[in-house]
Structure 1
Amino acid sequence: MFDQTFGPSVDIDVTCFKGGAQECVRQPVATEVPCTLQVNGDELGTMLCTPADLKEFAVGYLFTSGLIQGIDEFRDFYCDERTWRLDITTTHRIDPALLGKRIYTSGCGRGVMYDNMINLAARHPLENSFSIEPERLVACMRWLLGCSQLHRDTHGVHTVAVSLNGDIPDVYFDDIGRHNAVDKALGHCLLQGVDLTWALLMGTGRISSEILQKVKRAGVPLLLSRGAPTHQTVLQARDMGITVVGFARGGNFTVYSHPERVSFGSVSV
């Protein structure tokens, strides 16, 4: 049995079979805890998470789910690391009618989105002149794939980061769930007051529609991933004015929507 309090990884005894031989060793595995979000005393739900950057996760989740409109509505946060209850205080009570309109997503840990956020995200496509050179996209993804020690140790987490103007970020976020990692990265930006008008969000996982909805909610114009998008992601991204770049591996990538934001001028195509 594990203790109730632990870090992002836990060392366990395993039996490996390599080269025709059996070996008993100790290896780190990614930690998974059930975090219960309680907002103003009302239980919102329980999410399976990596126990790190949980304040950022809580802020990002409330915002990208449409339950708060901005960081000014966030008041306080406390994490009980024995029970993994996240107590959050906001300026207003969450509308109970809204909580009944849930859509269960394809994300790890059975993520949840709320109906009003999806309706709002479909309105007002993003329109800005943000553009980025292909070389910067390649450099950002190369950095992302090598930045996480937790991923190197466990191979059990997704990594997400936000780049401003295509620069290499200073911080990244890991989680067993790719949607959780997105919430952590966007929550960090909200807490720091980062302007996301000229930003790109990069991740290591599949680009499903709930990830796109979160990015649109935050006003991020470009989404970059090593993984591939679903067809709903592509269709919605074209309507929302978001550039989706997938299969970013080994210096190559595919642009699925709004390619005008990628400056191919110096590249032969």
Structure 2
Amino acid sequence: MSEFLLRPNPDDPRLTRHVTGIDQEGKRIDTAVVVERPLTLFLNGQEIVTMMTIGDFPDYLAVGYLLNQNMLRPDDRVTDIEYDDELEVVVVRTERHTDFEQKLQKKTLTSGCAQGTVFGDLMERFDEVVLDPEAELRTSWLYALSKKINTSPSLYLAAGAIHGCVLCEEDRPLIYMEDVGRHNAIDKIAGYMHLKGIGPEGKIFYTTGRLTSEMVIKTVQMRIPILISRSGFTAWGVELARRAGLTLIGRAKGKRFVALSGENRIRFDGDPASVGEESPRHQRKASLENDVA
């Protein structure tokens, strides 16, 4: 696979809007802000949830959300996906009959910004997943991925107030998705993988957001053995990663990182002394985003 099969388009006029204001010196400024809009998801004839999203790739978001809620099975055949931009509705149709009335009665708000919602048992099937024990992460790959992802054009750099998730293989970033909530970004990647027939073998997951329980659970459900973030950890996220045998790396900025689970997969083949520090522009942007992540 080549690098960046799919990545953000910060020039898409539907995703940002320019507004005027004043800065700390009282000077008039023009700045880009991210646009968020509702998207109501139906599975066959049943309404599932309304999500706040930037609105790109509604098909991948819908399928990935259903997969990560265990409403779609890995072997389910999606027969049709209908999206109506005016009504802000996406309908996923499957060959198998579905009915999740009972599951929809149990709702949990997640810890992510632009709060996500999960239904049913949050830990459903979690302990059944066996992550590849032979998977590895070379530090040279980690350094290369951080540089390529953090310098790639993105809404994150253009406007902030957004999270990114990237599916990677060795030192190559493949699928880069962004949204106002990291749960949406990860679901888009899950949907893309399912619809394009991409397996978890040899894959690495990278996110700009915190390493929360939700991020760990979804990564494990996707059977990806390595999760990296430029942000920090929550205690339950670390506990669940250790329980699942997931390699969990946070605070990955420049030459620095911290691994709190699955350290056995890390191969130290990169020289930290040869890795430059992040640009001041990106450090300032990341600092602002981490304050509200």
Q: TM-score, normalised by structure 2?
A: 0.83
Query: Which residue is 1:229 aligned to?
Result: 233
Task: Within 5 Å, give how 1:37-116 maps onto structure 2.
Answer: 37-70=41-74, 72-91=76-95, 92-116=97-121
> Compared with structure 1, are the counterparts of its residues 204 and 116 closer, same or farther at alpha carbon in structure 2 (3 Å cutoff)?
same
Task: Within 5 Å, give how 1:4-43 maps onto structure 2.
Answer: 7-12=14-19, 14-18=20-24, 20-23=25-28, 25-43=29-47
CA contact (8 A) 1:148 1:159 kept: no
Task: Within 5 Å, give how 1:186-197 maps onto structure 2.
Answer: 186-197=190-201
* Residue deviations 1:43-68 (CA, integer Å, cap 9, x gap): 11111111111111111111011111
Detail structure 1 runs of 4+ shifted over 3 Å in the superposition.
265-268
1:132 to 126, 130, 137: 137
Q: How many residues align?
A: 259
> Compared with structure 1, are the counterparts of its residues 154 and 71 closer, same or farther at alpha carbon in structure 2 (3 Å cutoff)?
farther
Runs of 5+ unmatched residues, structure 2 = 1-12, 273-293
Q: TM-score, normalised by structure 1?
A: 0.90
* Residue deviations 1:2-48 (CA, integer Å, cap 9, x gap): xxxx6111222x11225x3421x432211100111111121111111
Instruction: Tell me the distance in 2 between the aligned counterparts of 1:124 and 1:56.
Output: 23
CA contact (8 A) 1:65 1:113 kept: yes
Instruction: Tell me the distance in 2 between the aligned counterparts of 1:97 and 1:88.
Output: 19
1:144 to 122, 127, 149: 149
* Residue deviations 1:113-135 (CA, integer Å, cap 9, x gap): 23345131133442420012112
What secondary structure is seen at the aligned counterpart in 2 of 1:15? strand
CA contact (8 A) 2:139 2:270 kept: no
Instruction: Tell me the distance in 2 between the aligned counterparts of 1:87 and 1:128.
Output: 37
Instruction: Tell me the distance in 2 between the aligned counterparts of 1:43 and 1:266.
Output: 49
What secondary structure is seen at the aligned counterpart in 1 of 2:71? coil
Runs of 5+ unmatched residues, structure 1 = 1-5
Q: Is the counterpart of residue 169 in structure 1 residue 176 in structure 2?
A: no
Instruction: Tell me the distance in 1 between the aligned counterparts of 2:85 and 2:66.
Output: 20
Instruction: Tell me the distance in 1 between the aligned counterparts of 2:205 and 2:99.
Output: 28
Query: Which residue is 1:3 aligned to?
Result: none
> Compared with structure 1, are the counterparts of its residues 125 and 239 closer, same or farther at alpha carbon in structure 2 (3 Å cutoff)?
farther
What secondary structure is seen at the aligned counterpart in 1 of 2:92? strand
> Compared with structure 1, are the counterparts of its residues 43 and 7 closer, same or farther at alpha carbon in structure 2 (3 Å cutoff)?
same
CA RMSD of aligned residues (A): 1.9
Query: Which residue is 1:120 aligned to?
Result: 125
Report which stretch shifted further, 209-218 or 149-158: 149-158
Report which stretch shifted further, 147-156 or 175-184: 147-156
CA contact (8 A) 2:106 2:119 kept: yes
1:210 to 199, 207, 214: 214
Question: How many angstroms does 1:179 deviate by?
Answer: 0.8
Question: How many angstroms does 1:73 deviate by?
Answer: 3.1
Question: How many angstroms does 1:176 deviate by?
Answer: 0.7
